[in-house]
Structure 1
Amino acid sequence: MASPPPAAARLVGVDLARGTALLAMMTTHILPTMEPDLAGRMEPTWIGLAFSGRAAALFAVVAGISLSLGRVPAAANRLGLALRALVIAVVGLFLGGLDVNIAIILVQYAVLFWCSIPVFRLSQRSLGLLAGAWIVLAPVASFIVRPWFIDRPEPLVLGHNPTWTDLRDPGKLLTDLFVTGNYPVVQWMAYIFVGLWIGRLPLRNWSVQLGLLLGGAIAAALGKAAEWALMVPLGGHAALMATPQASQWPLDAMLRADLIGVQQTGTVWWLATAAPHSGSTLDLLHTSGTSAMALGFFLLVARMRPLSRTGVLLPLAGAGSMTLTLYTAHVWAVSWSQGGGTPGLEREGLLAVHIVAALAIGLLFRANGWRGPLEWVAHGAYRLGSLKQRTTTATPRQGRVR
């Protein structure tokens, strides 16, 4: 079999990155990111140290990249993109009603798509400048306004995944989605901007792929190095451990593994950490870097002729091409298992079942050229928007009567 053309290799590399993000998120959902040591003190697990924060960030960055790919970029059909995001939001609201110990990202994911629509006309240079400015300024803005929403008689915090009933209180829902929730859109828009900027690069070129790998590694290392300088020699860690949050949470472990659930108020030192899910400038820099690094790596892997000939990449690429369906099935399955649906199955075994199932289903659908069921619905919504957009464009406007 001849090696795939550059365009195919490019798409396979993106699907590989997206599939890896999906499997890594599954891992953090099922296996603990923190566990007590022999002394009873919480410590990060290798899962928390390796995947927490990075998996979800890669998922979001690849979403931005996908908007710029294809013969006609998805961003060109704004109405279609808005309708596709609506499908994602609907699925997310249904999943929010499940009794599951997972911070579900789909509603925020849809809002990120909606908020990205106004910037599609920007040039690549403008997108790069916007991404850089957003990484620096958005965490500061969020830190300034967050206390106003939290320090009030009725804090504007959901404390759970968004559900249909939350639509009754749109102010609280929007505040949680944008500022106080698990995936605050104010900071997470940085990942979409980074992805849109990367998607405008000539991703077929091996030099660009290598540049993403090396440049991403440098950015990720800079983020962590800056955190160490601020946290250790300059006393940032000690200042955070003196906050009220440290008495409520195992903060020392959470700063290394997962800061979801901790409201970062009371001291400006929260902005100096690069903790997973902190949404700080250094966290956004580090996870944008690891996302670019992962994308560059998988784009290079997709170029390797022996791997493309043997089809060894198809299961992971297939899973990456239907993440909405597989993510939804995974969340439902975890809810079912947490309700006692898998007696006698250890967490590691449960994770193995989820990963093998995702890869097998991905291979089946990829080999047959099928879309995932939810991808089919989302694509139908996108095509509906495209049809309406073409109809509107083709209809001549009548002149104003004078």
Structure 2
Amino acid sequence: MTSRGTASPSRTAKGTSTTTRLTGIDAARGLALLGMMATHLLPTFEADAQLTPTWIGLTFSGRAAALFAVLAGVGLALSTGKQRPPQGRELSGARRGIALRALVIAVVGLFLGGLDVNVAVILVHYSVLFLCVLPFIGLGIRPLCAWAAGWVLLSPVLAYLLRPWLLAPSPPLQLHHNPGWEDLVTPGRLLGDIFLTGYYPVLQWLSYLLIGLVIGRLALTKAAVQVTLLAGGAVVAVLAKWLGGLAMNEWGGKEALQARLADPRYPLDSLLQVNLAGVEQSGSWWWLATSAPHSGTTLDLLHTSAVAAAVVGACLLLGRLGEWLSLDLLLPLRGAGAMTLSLYTAHVCLVAALYLQPLPAGWTPEGVYAAQALTAVLIGGSFAALNWRGPLEWVAHAASEVGRYQRAGIR
């Protein structure tokens, strides 16, 4: 799920700015991949009456997937001019290339949607996000900031108003499963789920790609920018969580929402800490005041994008430190991060193979995760050392190049 538009780090002279940028961004992608794998394979709640959150749920739920989406925007910015957005025919070609890349991702996602697996596959939503961000590719950083701020503030309100209307029909415009090929025959239901009622609602999640575009248009090789991303992201993330806690615990939000949550099997306290996906957030405006993971509220979007910005800043700084020490500190993560589409697809297929099957004797969920994570790191590191693209990355890159090549032939 990468968007690499510049030279591979291994082809760049040691100590140059391009190396720092690419190793840091790819490392952040690798961290996002390992975080998403953790939420898929390890429990996010304890098996007790209160559904006590585990450290996996508290650490990665909502944040790992959001990091993926923010990095998609960063990657698109890096592959379309970096600090200088494309214009004219170059912009048209870039948009066609992105659209064809999105098509490849959608095909893979629809294939994975046909598997029997207890994983919310992100790829179809991811591909639609690529298409939705096309009008913003040619914008400079100031209008991008304005669009990103407006989207973060207003898209949750619009989603809150539209969701009940989409859920009212019988059957509701909601899939309750990963989008697959069979869903193409009911486009209204499919689009309703992708944009508003599904696990990764594109209407709000476009905020992540817009913020990623803003980050990618910055001078990411400058230490001041890297430190600002780390420090500023950390501050905003803490403030967003603090405001959400105030709204729920001090201002009466939790009591109001508890009255709307009819099923006692799902304690609101635990859901607010780990995951609000699947909860019908309607009937009270207090839903918009939470900062819960996968709630799609303004505070949730702010918190998770700020965490993503801080992670990007930290990875870029680590890459800079590695260059100073003449050590590739990020190789384990950046190798996996450079071929996330291939590794994510393989991971989902493996999870599907294990679904509802007993684990081999002596294996635990932690062991399965460790084995998959280590395999991803080793494969990614090997491909990075050989300067190879992952197989699905190669297909996506080829599709993107076809779009750009068509541009060159137009007069």
TM-score interval w.r.t. the shorter chain? over 0.9
- Structure 1: any 5+ residue segments left out of the alignment? 396-402
Does structure 1 retain, via aligned residues, the 8 Å contact 2:24–2:318? yes
* TM-align CA RMSD: 1.7
The answer for the alignment partner of 1:359 in structure 2 is: 377
Structure 2 length normalisation: TM-score? 0.92
Q: Which amino acid aligns with 1:56?
A: A
How far does residue 342 in structure 1 lie from its aligned partner after superposition? 4.3
Q: Give, in whole Å, the separation in 2 of the partners of 1:6 and 1:105.
A: 32
Q: Give, in whole Å, the separation in 1 of the partners of 2:23 and 2:403.
A: 26
Q: Which amino acid aligns with 1:351?
A: Y
Q: Deviations over 1:14-33 (max 9, x none)?
A: 00101000000000100011
How far does residue 306 in structure 1 lie from its aligned partner after superposition? 6.5
The answer for the alignment partner of 1:124 in structure 2 is: 141
Deviates more, 1:310-319 or 1:58-67: 310-319
How far does residue 312 in structure 1 lie from its aligned partner after superposition? 3.8
Q: Give, in whole Å, the separation in 1 of the partners of 2:79 and 2:186.
A: 39
- CA 1:224–1:201 in structure 2 vs 1: closer, same or farther (change >3 Å)? same
Q: Which amino acid aligns with 1:391?
A: G
2:77 is the counterpart of 1:68: yes
Q: 1:142 aligns with which of 159, 166, 183?
A: 159
Alignment of 1:1-20 (within 5 A): 3-20=14-31
Does structure 1 retain, via aligned residues, the 8 Å contact 2:77–2:137? no
Q: Deviations over 1:237-275 (max 9, x none)?
A: 111111144446333211111112112111111101000
Q: Give, in whole Å, the separation in 2 of the partners of 1:137 and 1:128.
A: 14
How far does residue 154 in structure 1 lie from its aligned partner after superposition? 1.8
Does structure 2 retain, via aligned residues, the 8 Å contact 1:240–1:246? no
Does structure 2 retain, via aligned residues, the 8 Å contact 1:245–1:262? no
The answer for the alignment partner of 2:403 in structure 1 is: 385
The answer for the alignment partner of 2:8 in structure 1 is: none
2:102 is the counterpart of 1:85: yes
Q: Which amino acid aligns with 2:132?
A: C
Alignment of 1:3-402 (within 5 A): 3-37=14-48, 40-70=49-79, 72=81, 76=91, 77-247=94-264, 249-305=266-322, 309-340=326-357, 342-344=359-361, 345-392=363-410, 395=411
Query: Aligned with 2:375: secondary structure?
Result: helix
Does structure 2 retain, via aligned residues, the 8 Å contact 1:156–1:172? yes
Q: Deviations over 1:165-210 (max 9, x none)?
A: 0000000000000000000000000000000011111000000000
Q: Give, in whole Å, the separation in 1 of the partners of 2:390 and 2:125.
A: 21
Q: Give, in whole Å, the separation in 1 of the partners of 2:342 and 2:224.
A: 34
Q: Which amino acid aligns with 2:173?
A: L
Query: Aligned with 2:116: secondary structure?
Result: coil
Q: Give, in whole Å, the separation in 2 of the partners of 1:70 and 1:11.
A: 11
Does structure 2 retain, via aligned residues, the 8 Å contact 1:65–1:198? yes
How far does residue 214 in structure 1 lie from its aligned partner after superposition? 0.7
How far does residue 305 in structure 1 lie from its aligned partner after superposition? 3.4
Q: Give, in whole Å, the separation in 1 of the partners of 2:154 and 2:276.
A: 20
Q: Deviations over 1:291-325 (max 9, x none)?
A: 00000000000001368633342121010000000
Query: Aligned with 1:173: secondary structure?
Result: helix
Does structure 2 retain, via aligned residues, the 8 Å contact 1:241–1:252? no
Q: Percent identity?
A: 51
Query: Aligned with 1:102: secondary structure?
Result: coil
Q: Give, in whole Å, the separation in 2 of the partners of 1:307 and 1:277.
A: 39
How far does residue 221 in structure 1 lie from its aligned partner after superposition? 1.0
The answer for the alignment partner of 1:398 in structure 2 is: none
Does structure 2 retain, via aligned residues, the 8 Å contact 1:3–1:308? no
How far does residue 114 in structure 1 lie from its aligned partner after superposition? 0.2
Q: Which amino acid aligns with 1:109?
A: Y
Q: Which amino acid aligns with 2:22?
A: L
Does structure 1 retain, via aligned residues, the 8 Å contact 2:232–2:310? yes
Q: Deviations over 1:41-75 (max 9, x none)?
A: 21111111111000001110011001111484597
Q: Give, in whole Å, the separation in 1 of the partners of 2:168 and 2:192.
A: 13
Structure 1 length normalisation: TM-score? 0.94
Q: Deviations over 1:79-135 (max 9, x none)?
A: 111000000000000001111110000000000000000111222101001111111
How far does residue 339 in structure 1 lie from its aligned partner after superposition? 4.4
Does structure 2 retain, via aligned residues, the 8 Å contact 1:2–1:309? no
How far does residue 340 in structure 1 lie from its aligned partner after superposition? 2.4
Q: Give, in whole Å, the separation in 2 of the partners of 1:341 and 1:239.
A: 42
How far does residue 36 in structure 1 lie from its aligned partner after superposition? 2.8
For these two proteins, the number of residue pairs brought into alignment is 391
Does structure 2 retain, via aligned residues, the 8 Å contact 1:180–1:263? no
Q: Give, in whole Å, the separation in 2 of the partners of 1:351 and 1:307.
A: 33
